[in-house]
């Protein structure tokens, strides 16, 4: 996978809270739909910070793993 970042995600508009984020305040992922380079993802606590851009396939794999519980904060990648 080629790493792609947006250094200052605040320059883009249309961010939304990911439906896979938790309900706790200040612990949200935000995603941007219809970006030409892929799926940008940022931390809601730092809206003007960087965003990582994932390919659609990589983002789908991440979401599937989050849904099926195969991701764990205590388990190294």
Which one is predicted more confidently, 25 or 59? 59
Would residue 74 count as lying in a domain? no
9: nearest Cα among 54, 37, 41: 41
Would residue 76 count as lying in a domain? no
pLDDT reported for residue 3? 58
Percentage helix, strand, coil for the chain under 3-state DSSP, each rounded to 5: 20, 25, 55
Number of folded domains in the chain?
1
Would residue 73 count as lying in a domain? no
Task: Give the domain range for residue 41.
Answer: 5-68
Q: Give this prediction's pTM.
A: 0.74
pLDDT reported for residue 1? 44
Would residue 36 count as lying in a domain? yes
The mean pLDDT value of the chain amounts to 83
């Amino acid at each position: 996978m080629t790493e792609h970042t947006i250094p200052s995600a605040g320059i883009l508009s249309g961010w939304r809270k990911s439906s896979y984020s938790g309900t706790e305040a200040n612990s949200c992922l935000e995603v941007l739909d219809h970006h030409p380079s892929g799926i940008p993802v940022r931390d809601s606590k730092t809206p003007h910070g960087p965003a990582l851009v994932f390919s659609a396939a990589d983002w789908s794999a991440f979401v599937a793993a989050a849904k099926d519980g195969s991701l764990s904060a205590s388990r190294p990648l």
